[in-house]
Amino acid sequence: MKSFLEAGSLGRGGLETLVDEGSRIRDRLDAFEWDGRPLAGRTVANLFFEPSTRTRLSFDLAAQRLGAHVLTFNPANSSVAKGESLRDTAETVSAIGADVLVVRHSRDRAPAEVAEWTGNAVVNAGDGMNEHPTQAVVDLLTMRRRFGRLEDLNIAIVGDIAHSRVANSLMAALDPVGANVTLAGPSHWLPDRDDLPMVPSIDGVLESSDVVYLLRVQTERGGHIDQPYIDRFQMNEDRLTKMKPAAVIMHPGPINRNVEVSDTVADSARSLIGEQVRNGVPARMAVLGALEL
């Protein structure tokens, strides 16, 4: 692929290839046997115009483990602070010698614009409320390694769906691989679509789900936390007991602890949150390795 901007762009075959490759890389990393350098001599620039811990650091490490040079850019101490535009910044980093631009930005479709302006391979690391496609690869990889399959898994996506680029990419990726998606959220946070079942409380998905995927309430994008929300949607110990014995919870992070998930559930053996973070590096190594450079 030339760039990776939207999770659904690859179709079932492309997504499964990334998951297969990510899983193979994860096994080799775990065994301290990774020795590939397919991006030796290439340069990956991480252009993060919004805060990030997991995505930025895992792209850094993924690119290093593939043998690439890594440029890490901080807008606060760059010429962006002097008013340089996104286009001029991207074209400058491209001219310096970057082969791959990894872009996180608050504006929908900014990474797609960067791809058009520069002609570089671009990976979307989260754009506004649009998409976060590598998070979807991380999540599919995590589900496949836990359940051995994606087909016919029942996945409930819960919470602040309206503001969530994670939810958009996850929905776009789960459909082609044959998983069944149900949405649970307050009516004002549910999307306007009629192709997915939707329920008004987390209690409506507990017994049927293999994965309850909790979303962060995005206060920086207009999400509001109040006690009625916590009462209807928080995953807590009592609700965990109503789930199937093998069912798990996931969350892309960062967590609002004791809002969408209680402390005890977040840190329990039924939580794959740490596993999602661990899969961030191999999943992004698979994505970077699949780019046509």
Judge whether 39 and 66 are in contact, CB under 8 Å.
yes
Of 26 and 132, the one with the shorter C-beta distance to ligand CP is: 132
Report if residue 254 touches ligand CP, rule: CB under 6 A: yes
Question: Of 180-188, 204-212, 252-260, 266-274, which segment contacts ligand CP by CB under 6 A?
Answer: 252-260
Judge whether 103 and 125 are in contact, CB under 8 Å.
yes
Of 53 and 106, the one with the shorter C-beta distance to ligand CP is: 53
Dist. CA 153–CA 36, nearest whole Å: 33
Of 55 and 124, the one with the shorter C-beta distance to ligand CP is: 55
Judge whether 214 and 159 are in contact, CB under 8 Å.
yes
Judge whether 45 and 78 are in contact, CB under 8 Å.
no
As measured in angstroms, the least distance from the Cβ of 126 to ligand CP is 6
Report if residue 55 touches ligand CP, rule: CB under 6 A: yes
Question: Of 16-24, 179-187, 204-212, 246-254, which segment contacts ligand CP by CB under 6 A?
Answer: 246-254
Report if residue 274 touches ligand CP, rule: CB under 6 A: no
The residue count of the chain comes to 293
Report if residue 253 touches ligand CP, rule: CB under 6 A: yes
Name the phi and psi angles at 257, rounded to 5: -60, 135
134-153 footprint of ligand CP as x/- string (CB under 6 A): -x------------------
| Distance from chain centroid for Cα 272 | 14
As measured in angstroms, the least distance from the Cβ of 166 to ligand CP is 7
# residues near ligand CP by CB under 6 A: 9
Judge whether 106 and 50 are in contact, CB under 8 Å.
yes
Of 53 and 219, the one with the shorter C-beta distance to ligand CP is: 53
Report if residue 53 touches ligand CP, rule: CB under 6 A: yes
Give Cβ neighbours of residue 249 (< 8 Å, ≥ 6 apart): 211, 212, 213, 214, 235, 240, 261, 265, 266, 270, 271, 272, 273
Of 55 and 94, the one with the shorter C-beta distance to ligand CP is: 55
Name the phi and psi angles at 109, rounded to 5: 70, 10
| Residue labelled with tokens 């949607």 | 233
As measured in angstroms, the least distance from the Cβ of 181 to ligand CP is 19
Binding site for ligand CP (CB under 6 A): 52-55, 126, 135, 252-254
